[in-house]
Homo-oligomer: A and B are copies of this chain.
C-alpha cells in the first residue's frame, strides 16, 4: 500500500499526543497550554497575542481563547502594549512558570520514550525526513 507509511505517521502522532495530554493532565495542563506557557517562559517578556499565534502556528482567535483560559487559571496575565494601543501582550505569571516547569520533565519523558520506540531508524535521518514532509 502506498498509503501505509503516511497513515502510520499520522496515527502514531495521535498516540503520542494522547500520551502527552494524559501526562500533562497530571500537572493540570494540556498540550496547548503547555506550549503557550513554554513560549512565554522562553521569551521571558510580554508577547503580543499575534506573535504568540505565529509561534503556535494557529489563528489569532484561537490564541484569544487560549489566553482567556490561561488567565482564568492565573497562569498568564494580559497587559496593554504601551507602544501600540491595538495590541495586547501576554505575560506568564509566577504560577504559570511553576506549572510550565512541572510540565517539562513530564513532556520530555514521553518524547524520550517515543524516541526510543523509533530507535530502529537513525534519529538524524528520521528527523530530516520528517522535517522534509511538506
Contact = CB atoms under 8 A, between A and B. Distances in A.
A133 interface: yes
B112 A2 contact: yes
A115 B129 CA distance: 10
**Interface size of A as a range:** 35 or more
A14 to B, nearest CB: 7
A110 B134 CA distance: 10
Copy tally for this chain in the complex stands at 2
A129 B123 CA distance: 12
Interface string A83-103: 000000000000000000000
29 contacts: A2-B112, A5-B114, A5-B126, A6-B110, A6-B111, A6-B115, A6-B118, A8-B127, A9-B9, A9-B16, A10-B13, A10-B16, A11-B130, A12-B130, A12-B133, A12-B134, A13-B13, A18-B134, A19-B134, A114-B133, A114-B134, A117-B133, A118-B129, A118-B132, A120-B128, A121-B121, A121-B129, A126-B126, A126-B129
